[in-house]
Amino acid sequence: MLERTQSGLATVGEVSAFALKAVREMFVPPFELRETVRQVYELGFRSAPLIAVSGLAVGVVLSMHTRASLEKFGAESLIPSGLAIALVRETGPLTAALLLSGRIGAGIGAELGAMRVTEQIDALEASAVDAFRYLVVTRVIACMIALPLLTTLMNFTGMLGGFIAERAATGMSLRLYFTRAFSLIEFADYVPATMKTMVFGFIIATMSSYLGFTTQSGTEGVGRASTRAVVLSSMLIIVSNVILVRLIFFMFPRAGA
Amino acid sequence: MAATAELERTDSAAPRDATAAAVRLESVSKAFGGRRVLEDVSFAVAEGSGFVILGRSGTGKSVTLRHIIGLVRPDAGRVFVEEDEISALSGPDLSRVRRKVGFLFQSAALFDSISVGENVAFPMRRHTDLKEADIIASAQAKLASVGLEREFDKMPGDLSGGMRKRAGLARALALDPRILLVDEPSAGLDPITADEIDDLLLGLKRRGGVTLVVVTHNMPSARKLGDRLLMLHEGRILAEGTPAEMDGSDNEIVRAFMASQHSG
């Protein structure tokens, strides 16, 4: 039991050191611009269809639930703005982050894990390339750029999904729907909630990269790294979200109103 | 017990001047998780020579090779590449020394997300100011030198084991290194393909003056490539010398190993 605790604490220490190194290296030139752009495309742009379709479906479902509740009070006109606030403040960022921890987390864990067991990471180092900067820092920056953008996409498609549901239920026009949707949203609703996904991006990339980078035991280890990357990233996102929401309420009191 | 056999060194072909050594290890020891892998290993590799590290699986051969390019750092002792103590370097200084050394991995370790040609071009893109057209031309020339001129656009996954090894060799030679480290060149290859790889390596040494440090347990390959052989046993040097000297060794393990004809 003591041994397991010690080993667990050692791992936490290693992950923290790994994450701190990633932060430090982000600001030290030379920057791997070309690879970072490639990663934004691979991790971000190629995740867009998943986020767009999921956002649309979430918007439709949220709209149907909101209608069922607000109809009882004759407050159907609040559906677009209620849905928009729910999406922008919490549902969009958290859902996008959890979906991306699945797609990106598993991808990074498996890719770097496979590179480790097939000596490709050693080959990078042997080619006089700093593998940490080339593989990890680029992915961390790419995730921190991609998450807010994909969250914004999810918010938008979510609202579009809400519109489709409303249109089907009441025949509401697109203009009226979006006028109502944006009527109650302010800067303090969108910016802090979207920017917090940069932290989620950092968590997904560092956790998955760490697990991939430290993979052992061949292909079995790659599978394990991939699964753990998803599980641990998701857990850390959910836990850190509690702290971030508390922080946002403190710094932007309007966000909690 | 064989493991405790006395260190046997024959110095007839050893470099007299340590500064002329392309690679030098001084009393290197290394342990992983309490398990000692290398114990007080010292040797020098003369410039332009072929140096083969022999030994059974798990005796620390590959770890020795990894020390030379700084992938592993010694717990004790020092590792020199030419005049640079690579075991004490990091950051840009380490990169500078690594550029002088090519490494052919046992599995070839080609980057599987880019084409064979891009694999070879990769080190040139990173470390030279060559124009794009020159990089492509040079990568094609490197591939042609290992007989893979038509595989430039193929992905590594589409190549056979021998072709992968040759592509790995082309990449290792991308920056025209003065020293080439080769980990198990014959592993997983049929004898004919293994022989072809050996011929390529031999050509590099003879015509290009490249210093070869080769890890293998394949005796025909070791005899072909090695001007000097070193045998590791349980992390310690058991014997070192020319193939003829090793053949005449007093040590039973060395003689048995030298007499083996295992390939692949």
pLDDT in tens, A192-202: 999 999 999 99
Q: What is the mean pLDDT of residues B244-253?
A: 90
The reported pLDDT for the residue numbered B111 is 94
Q: Name the percent of chain A lying above pLDDT 90.
A: 77
What would the pLDDT profile of A201-236 be if each residue is shown by its tens digit?
999 999 999 999 999 878 888 999 999 999 999 999
- Read off the pLDDT band of B2 (50, 70, 90): very low
* Interatomic CA distance for residues B221 and B192, integer angstroms: 11
**pLDDT by residue (tens digit) across B104-119?**
999 899 999 899 999 9
- Tell if the CB–CB gap between A122 and B109 is shorter than 8 Å: yes
Looking at residue B190, what is its pLDDT?
A: 82
Q: Give the DSSP letter string of chain A.
A: -HHHHHHHHHHHHHHHHHHHHHHHHHTSSSP-HHHHHHHIIIIIGGGHHHHHHHHHHHHHHHHHHHHHHHGGGT-GGGHHHHHHHHIIIIIHHHHHHHHHIIIIIHHHHHHHHHHHHTTHHHHHHHTT--HIIIIIIHHHHHHHHHHHHHHHHHHHHHHHHHHHHHHHHH---HHHHHHHHHHS--HHHHHHHHHHHHHHHHHHHHHHHHHHHT--SHHHHHHHHHHHHHHHHHHHHHHHHHHHHHHHHHH-GGGG-
Residues 85-114 of A with CB under 8 A from B: 111, 114
pLDDT at B262 (0 to 100): 56
Please state, for a pLDDT cut of 70, what percent of chain B lies above it: 91
| A79 C-beta neighbours (distance < 10 Å), count | 26
pLDDT at B14: 43
Query: A182 is written with which tokens?
Result: 């944006």
Select the more confidently predicted residue: A96 or B34. A96
Read off the pLDDT band of B8 (50, 70, 90). Answer: very low
From the CA of B42, how many Å to the nearest CA of chain A?
22
- Give the C-alpha distances (Å, rounded to integers) separating B222 from A214, B2, B69, B159, B232: 33, 22, 21, 26, 14
pLDDT (average), residues A48-62: 96
Distance CA B172, CA B157 (A): 18
pLDDT of A67 strictly over 90: no
Residues of B whose CB is below 8 A from A120? 109-112
Q: What is the pLDDT of residue B10?
A: 45
Buried (b) or exposed (e) across A210-246, using 16+ Cβ within 10 A?
Answer: bbbbbbeeeeebbebbbebbbebbbebbeebbeebbe
Angle at the Cα of A57 from the Cα atoms of A55 and A61, rounded to 5 degrees: 115
Whole-model pTM: value is 0.86
pLDDT recorded at residue B155: 96
Residue A190 has pLDDT above 60, yes or no: yes
For B153-157, B167-171, B251-255, which range has the lowest pLDDT when averaged over its residues? B251-255
Residues in chain B within 8 Å Cβ distance of A126: 69, 71, 98, 101, 103, 105
Instruction: Look up residue A91 and give its two tokens.
Output: 């549902």
Distance from CA of A119 to the nearest CA of B (A): 5
Locate the chain A residue with the closest alpha carbon to B124.
A127
A255 — pLDDT class (breaks 50, 70, 90): low
Contact A127 B112 (CB under 8 A): no
Of A111, A118, A125, the CB nearest to B71: A125
* ipTM of the modeled complex: 0.85
Has residue B137 got a pLDDT over 60?
yes
Average pLDDT over residues A63-80: 86
Cβ pairs bridging A and B (under 8 Å): 50
Single-letter residue type at B189: L
For residue A135, pLDDT beyond 70 = yes
Q: What is the pLDDT at residue B94?
A: 94
What's the mean per-residue pLDDT of chain B? 88
Q: What is the mean pLDDT of residues A86-95?
A: 94
Please state the separation of Cα A124 from the chain's center in Å: 28
Confidence (pLDDT) at B4: 37
- Give residue B197's pLDDT: 87
pLDDT at B231 over 50: yes
Contact A203, A147 (CB under 8 A): no
Q: Report whether pLDDT(B6) > 50.
A: no
pLDDT at B5: 38
Identify the residue among B65, B86, B110, B169 best suited for mutation to test binding to A, counting A beta carbons within 10 A and taking the highest: B110
* Closest to A19 in 3D by CA, of A108, A132, A128, A109: A132
Top mean pLDDT of A95-104, A218-227, A241-250 is at A95-104
Give pLDDT tens digits for B9-66.
Answer: 444 444 444 447 999 999 999 999 888 999 999 999 999 999 999 988 888 999 999 9
- Flag whether residue A128 sits within 8 Å of chain B, measured between CB atoms: yes
Using alpha carbons, list the distances in angstroms from residue B101 to A55, A105, B106, B153: 51, 35, 16, 26
Asked if pLDDT for residue A137 goes beyond 80, the answer is: yes
